[in-house]
Amino acid sequence: NAGVTQTPKFQVLKTGQSMTLQCAQDMNHNSMYWYRQDPGMGLRLIYYSASEGTTDKGEVPNGYNVSRLNKREFSLRLESAAPSQTSVYFCASSEAGRLNLNEKLFFGSGTQLSVL
Amino acid sequence: AQKITQTQPGMFVQEKEAVTLDCTYDTSDPSYGLFWYKQPSSGEMIFLIYQGSYDQQNATEGRYSLNFQKARKSANLVISASQLGDSAMYFCAMRGTIGANSKLTFGKGITLSVRP
């Protein structure tokens, strides 16, 4: 079972470069999310997509854009990378388009990004 | 806005003993869900256990149980009979029902080390 697949696993960028993190899920989930994880900060929500065709900002959206390409895929783009965006990025998905309190997120394995 | 607080910097436990990882939360939502996730050194996020705010009993999943004290706004994770494989970072998270609170919010995490 693939679950949530993220690519790449590791990436090093220079300041000002752009790149796109790819995420795909094969569980027919409606909702998808991008989080970043920084030491001592836990996971913080960057953007999410409640359903195909919709995207919304999370807690820390500045410097990022997202695209919900179809139901399976949700990409995160850094247009002009900055050292402050050095982090581990996680994509996640969940089943609902409606709110279920007990709905758990399924996570990808993460992308370790360094911006020099 | 909802908030999760995990203040223990790091925990150590002897193999086969029980350990409690603390989590307190704050929210104005009348209904909410509480989650614990495990992140081993390999980096993936693994769902452990869920507790609903109106659940009558504390949640249990195998060796994991959640000590839910609603009046104190605490949702501590109890791991019984610790194993070496329990060494990991543990995140408490919550989801409410209103607006931005409907997205999963994470605490900063607690590192647990199990000693042989």
> In the Cβ-directed half-sphere of A2, how many Cα atoms lie within 13 Å?
11
Q: How large a percentage of chain A has pLDDT more than 70?
A: 97
Mean pLDDT lowest for which of A11-20, B26-35, B83-92?
B26-35
Q: Do A43 and B106 touch (CB under 8 A)?
A: yes
> Is the CB of residue A92 less than 8 Å from the CB of residue A105?
yes
pLDDT at A1: 64
pLDDT at A97: 58
Q: How big is chain A, counted in residues?
A: 116
pLDDT at B37: 97
State the average pLDDT over residues B36-57: 93
User: In this structure, what token pair is assigned to residue A60?
Assistant: 């820390």
Residue A97, min C-alpha distance to chain B (Å): 12
For A96-107, how does the pLDDT look when each residue is reduced to its tens digit (9 = 90+)? 755 677 888 999
Q: Do A42 and B43 touch (CB under 8 A)?
A: no
State the average pLDDT over residues A86-110: 87
pLDDT above 90 (res A39): no
Which residue is it, tokens 């994991």? B64
* Cα-Cα-Cα-Cα dihedral sign, residues A76, A78, A84, A86: positive
Q: Nearest Cβ partner of A105 from B104, B107, B109?
A: B104
Residue B102, min C-alpha distance to chain A (Å): 7
Is the CB of B50 inside 8 Å of chain A's CB atoms?
Answer: yes
> Is the CB of residue B23 less than 8 Å from the CB of residue B5?
yes
pLDDT above 70 (res A26): yes
pLDDT above 70 (res A80): yes
pLDDT at B100: 73
> Is the CB of residue A81 less than 8 Å from the CB of residue A19?
yes
pLDDT above 70 (res A86): yes
Q: Nearest Cβ partner of A58 from B31, B32, B103?
A: B103
State the average pLDDT over residues B47-73: 94
Q: Nearest Cβ partner of B108 from A41, A58, A101?
A: A41
State the average pLDDT over residues B55-60: 92
pLDDT at B61: 95
What is the residue-averaged pLDDT of chain A?
A: 92
Q: Do A40 and B47 touch (CB under 8 A)?
A: no
Largest separation between any pair of C-alpha atoms in chain B: 45
Which residue is it, tokens 């919900």? A68
Q: What is the DSSP letter of B60?
A: E
For B83-108, how does the pLDDT look when each residue is reduced to its tens digit (9 = 90+)? 999 999 999 999 988 777 778 899 99
Q: How large a percentage of chain A has pLDDT more than 90?
A: 79
Nearest-Cα residue of chain A relative to residue B51: A102
Q: Nearest Cβ partner of A102 from B43, B44, B50?
A: B50
pLDDT at A95: 87
State the average pLDDT over residues A72-86: 96
Kindly tell me the burial class for residue A16, based on how many C-beta atoms sit within 10 Å of its own C-beta (0-12, 13-18, 19 or more).
exposed
State yes or no: cis peptide before B30, omega within 30 of 0. no
pLDDT at A101: 78
